[in-house]
Chain A
Amino acid sequence: MLFSNAEVSKFVRENFIAAWESVRPVPTVEIDFGSGKKLKRTVNGNIATQICTPEGRVIDIVPGMMTAEAYLGSLRDALVLYRIASEGDFESVLHEYHEANATGRARFVEVPDVAKAAIERPMKVLLRLEETAAEIPDASKRMIETPIRRLSVEEEALRADTELNLKERKPRIHAKLAEKPVTPEEITKWLYREILHCDLDDPYLGLAVEAFRGGAYGD
């Protein structure tokens, strides 16, 4: 489980104040085998992590599930972005960062040790615009491209989710966050509907066609 990873847990404890919220109850499927044994699975659930300022303004969003390494990298990037933006024009820095990342042209370069830099000198925006294709963080990229051992089916699925979330979903989130400053209340429905394909206003969460194929809806 992602937050039971020691590094992730430590990083979150040391750098953030953590909160959770349930955006809706999770749909479940229960199979009764008729022998007293039952099997329960969730359907169409997904998580999102919104990194916010202490006042609750969205700095960045990490969509869905990913490897601990990739997740940690995303949190680190968001934290650095927050600290750099706090030293300058907050709105402009965020806008510039998200706009550049919407096209995959920007990345942090040689980010100094944040605590040390905060003490010793003012921080500067460290964005380098590159005319290259969208890149995912090096650590995640290495993990995806060069496995050192045969992965389990679940690990393969998580790596695939990681790649999807970083390469396809993140640029769209960056584009949205570049439009204007938002709070989680303002962006959550869009996030789940457009990015995670889980329309919170749909009572069937997009599963009606599959659930009732060839039959009538339940109500």
Chain B
Amino acid sequence: MRILTLSVALMAACSPNRVVPTDAAKRRIEAPIKESISWMAPEKYDLSKTGIDWHKGLDAVRGKGKPILLLQILGSYDEVFC
């Protein structure tokens, strides 16, 4: 069985259709990048399209008599990825 397995491996290595593995380090670096771009891009959304009147910053809405919903994001008003 071992001889058969070795022979099969040698045949695969010599085959013109064999898959040549790329450099392991390169694969390690590129794999997470490939995985991340395989996901559909989250919709880059502009808060002005939500129908909600958004004010910039907490100070703009303090003391107006209504409870406040403060949305905290990384990035800007017209670039919300959610």
Q: Which of B29, B65, B77, B82 contacts A2 (CB 8 A)?
A: B82
Q: Is the CB of A13 within 8 A of B52?
A: yes
Q: Is the CB of A20 within 8 A of B77?
A: yes
Distance, CA A42 to CA B49, complexed state (A): 20
Given contacts A22-B75, A48-B72, 20 further A-B contacts (CB under 8 A): A9-B51, A15-B67, A17-B64, A17-B68, A19-B54, A20-B71, A20-B72, A20-B77, A21-B70, A23-B72, A23-B73, A26-B79, A39-B41, A45-B75, A47-B72, A52-B68, A52-B69, A52-B70, A56-B68, A213-B29
A16 at the interface (CB under 8 A from B): yes
Given A2-B82, A46-B74, CB of A21 within 8 Å of CB of B58: yes
Interface residues of A in 22-73 (CB under 8 A from B): 22-27, 29, 31, 39, 41-42, 44-56, 59, 65
B15 at the interface (CB under 8 A from A): no
Output the least CB separation between B79 and chain A (Å).
7
Residues of B within 8 A of A (CB): 25, 29, 32-33, 36-37, 39-43, 45, 47, 49-58, 60-77, 79-82
Given A3-B52, A39-B37, A154-B40, CB of A19 within 8 Å of CB of B82: no
Distance, CA A16 to CA B72, complexed state (A): 15
Residues of A within 8 A of B (CB): 1-4, 9, 12-13, 15-27, 29, 31, 39, 41-42, 44-56, 59, 65, 75, 78-79, 82, 153-154, 184-185, 188, 198, 210, 213-214
| 8 interchain pairs, CB-CB under 8 A | A3-B71, A26-B75, A42-B74, A44-B74, A46-B74, A54-B63, A54-B67, A82-B67
Residue with the greatest number of chain A CB neighbours at <10 A, chosen from B41, B53, B70: B70
Residues in B neighbouring A41, C-beta threshold 8 A: 36-37, 41
Residues in B neighbouring A82, C-beta threshold 8 A: 67
Q: Is the CB of B69 within 8 A of A12?
A: yes
Distance, CA A187 to CA B82, complexed state (A): 22
How many residue pairs, one in A and one in B, have C-beta atoms under 8 Å apart?
A: 168
Given A26-B79, A54-B63, CB of A20 within 8 Å of CB of B68: no
Residues in A neighbouring B62, C-beta threshold 8 A: 54-56
Output the least CB separation between A170 and chain B (Å).
16
Q: Is the CB of A3 within 8 A of B60?
A: no
